[in-house]
């Protein structure tokens, strides 16, 4: 099959993010006062598509509502140079994410999929048949049937399937085998393996997590914030260092990473080289408030 040169197709979610800044994140049952409120375009799929589009042609396949939020999200994608031909508008509300960000830039997020739950496997297959991308990038804020369809299409058509398995879900073995790479952070890696994330030492435990996951996938990337990323296959895992920065808001760092990784892979970069590009992109993002990105 003839491929679109370097094209990434992102199968994913688009949300209107409601972001509140707090001095510290509340404990269970506690109320704290926020001191800033923003509504910005977000969702893992949208964020990753915007990051991928910085490196080459990118199409977003997803579903938004017929409300004003849906219009805002489509406009944001188009302004970033993302092809929105395959963004469907459906009756009802667009997805939302409720995000708390503390003074250290750490966050806590709750996502309501809403229109994102309407993305269908047939739509994914039809889009990929027409677009014939080099790389297909997906996450898990849309129905698993849509993700499975993307993985199967990539396997059947010689495209590279990149899965950011977030939020964590139980995945069929055939989907895992297609992942090249599977992209997760340290906590998500522990959860996928059935471990207690708190039991994984941040300095020496991540390589072991990556090694265990590598036996289930074609390749794996386990990110670990300022400590970089563990990358590789069942034959070899290596560490790609992160850039030392002072974070302002870590929201979206993983999305910048995944989208940049996919874009770099579509341009022919090796997985370690693409991971270095992704680390740099994530470092740039977390030094800026959401409104300035």
Query: pLDDT digits over 43-84, tens only?
Result: 999 999 999 999 999 999 999 999 999 999 999 999 999 999
203 Cβ contact partners less than 8 Å away, ≥ 6 residues apart? 227
Helix, strand, coil % in the chain, rounded to nearest 5 = 40, 25, 35
2: pLDDT confidence band, cut at 50, 70 and 90?
very low
pLDDT of amino acid 5 = 58
Query: Lowest mean pLDDT: which of 5-9, 53-57, 123-127?
Result: 5-9
Q: Which runs of E-coded beta strand occur in the chain? A: 8-11, 15-22, 34-42, 58-65, 87-90, 95-101, 107-112, 135-138, 160-164, 179-185, 220-223, 229-232, 237-240
pLDDT of amino acid 241 = 93
Mean pLDDT of the chain: 92
On whether the CB atoms of residues 116 and 241 are closer than 8 A, the answer is: no
Q: Does the structure show a pLDDT above 60 at 3?
A: no
pLDDT of amino acid 106 = 86
Pick the CATH number of 8-14+43-94+114-292 from 3.40.1190.20, 1.10.10.10, 3.30.1780.10, 3.40.50.460: 3.40.1190.20
Per the annotation, the verdict on 75 as an active-site residue is: no
The better pLDDT of the pair 109, 181 is held by 181
289: pLDDT confidence band, cut at 50, 70 and 90?
confident
Residue matched to tokens 């996502």: 111
Indicate which residue of 83, 224, 249, 255 is catalytic: 255
Structural domain boundaries in the chain: 8-14+43-94+114-292
Distances (CA, A) of 283 to 99, 161, 255, 262: 20, 24, 12, 17
Average pLDDT over residues 230-255: 90
pLDDT tens figures, 196-234: 655 554 455 899 999 999 999 999 999 998 899 999 999
């Amino acid at each position: 099959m003839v491929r679109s040169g370097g094209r990434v197709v992102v199968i994913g979610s688009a949300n209107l993010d409601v972001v509140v800044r707090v001095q510290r994140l509340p404990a269970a049952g506690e109320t704290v006062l926020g001191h800033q409120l923003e509504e910005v375009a977000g969702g893992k799929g949208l964020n990753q598509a915007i990051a991928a589009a910085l490196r080459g042609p990118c199409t977003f396949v997803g579903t938004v509502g017929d409300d004003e939020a849906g219009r805002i999200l489509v406009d944001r994608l188009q302004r970033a140079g993302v092809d929105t031909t395959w963004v469907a508008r459906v009756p009802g509300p667009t997805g939302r994410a409720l995000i708390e960000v503390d003074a250290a830039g750490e966050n806590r997020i709750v996502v309501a999929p809403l229109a994102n739950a309407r993305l269908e496997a047939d739509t994914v297959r039809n889009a990929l048949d027409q677009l014939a991308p080099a790389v297909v990038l997906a996450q898990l804020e849309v129905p698993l049937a849509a993700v499975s369809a993307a993985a199967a299409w990539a396997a059947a058509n010689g495209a590279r399937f990149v899965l950011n398995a977030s939020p964590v879900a139980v995945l069929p073995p055939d989907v895992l085998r297609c992942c090249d790479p599977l992209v997760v952070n340290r906590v998500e890696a522990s959860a996928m393996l059935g471990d207690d994330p708190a039991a994984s030492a941040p300095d020496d435990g991540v390589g072991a997590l990556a090694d265990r996951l590598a036996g289930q996938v074609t390749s794996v990337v386990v990110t670990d914030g300022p400590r970089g990323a563990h990358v590789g296959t069942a034959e070899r895992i290596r560490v790609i260092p992160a850039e030392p920065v002072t974070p302002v808001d870590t929201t979206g760092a993983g999305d910048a990473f995944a989208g940049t990784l996919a874009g770099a892979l579509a341009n022919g970069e090796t997985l370690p080289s693409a991971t270095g590009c992704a680390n740099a992109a994530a470092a740039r993002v977390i030094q800026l408030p959401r409104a300035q990105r």
